[in-house]
Amino acid sequence: MGTTQAQRKNASYQKYSDTYSNLAVQHQKKYRIPASITLAQGILESGAGMSKLARESNNHFGIKCHSDWRGGRVYHDDDLKGECFRKYKRVEESYEDHSRFLAERSRYASLFKLQITDYKSWARGLQKCGYATDRAYANKLIKIIEDYELYRYDKDKGIKTAAKGKNKETGPTTKRIVYKTHGLIYVYATTNDSFDRIAQDLDFKVKKLKKYNEVPEDFPLQRGDIVYLQKKKKKADKPYYDHVVQIGESMHSISQLYGIQIKSLYKMNKKDPDYIPEEGDVLKLR
């Protein structure tokens, strides 16, 4: 997100999402798993298709054999030495198995109650349900989704935006409550909200609104998200000196929480754009 991150795009990540986005969207329609989550997991678990497990066994999601597996198998060192992983004839079989792995196990049932566009909750849920042991797993997925704008694929099913000049939810004369905290004015996003709708309701330019909030085109909003109506600050106001990272947070979401510019948050903490905040990390805010 933002200029710094945009300059450091990984070509292999972009190529992977371009190659498998249609497949991920097909599985979203069939299994109700966000395409962005499927793609981000594929990128993360397979090293964008370049890992040995992906290249030699077509296993893009690091799924281990388990007692019920009757297909091909291969052995690799992971948490333990020589662990058994599933082997597939085609990448498509790996995607199918991944979708069924999530959809047919009671452990992940709570995820399917979430909105298809709520990739942050899906990422948090996967970590909490034990998909991976990495404490930064959810935050890594969210960073990949936001850096490569994979959330765009979640809308393939047709999340209809309101016609120009109208707001489907509340009509064209919506009154929004504008808040002010620590010298910054902002509004909260509502259900099915967008930057276009907020700009229209408040007679704002969409481009300026996105610039203030440091988001690219088509960035999705969730109910309760903070949307600033002016440029964010270089540091948080007192008494906010630091922040303990939680599951599912990104540098962007933390910057929004305290009204800090992303580049300032990176700079204060001496982090490069590849840094992914891990649960328990303490970040300086001023």
* The pLDDT of residue 244: 94
Whether residue 225 has pLDDT greater than 80: yes
Identify the residue with better confidence: 41 or 71: 41
* The pLDDT of residue 164: 36
Global pTM value:
0.78
CA–CA distance, 20 with 38 (Å, rounded to integer) = 10
Mean pLDDT of the chain: 87
CA–CA distance, 270 with 282 (Å, rounded to integer) = 12
Whether residue 166 has pLDDT greater than 50: no
* 217 CA to centre of own chain: 15
Angle among Cα 143, 125, 158 to the nearest 5 degrees reads 70
Whether residue 7 has pLDDT greater than 60: no
* The pLDDT of residue 156: 55
* The pLDDT of residue 71: 85
Instruction: Please report the domains of the chain, with CATH numbers, ordered by start residue.
Output: 2-155 (1.10.530.10), 242-284 (3.10.350.10)
Mean pLDDT across 214-243: 92
Per-residue pLDDT band at 31 (split at 50, 70, 90): very high
* The pLDDT of residue 182: 78
Which residues, 6+ apart, have CB-to-CB distance to 95 below 8 Å? 20, 23, 24, 27, 38, 42, 60
Identify the residue with better confidence: 4 or 277: 277
Radius of gyration of the chain (CA): 20
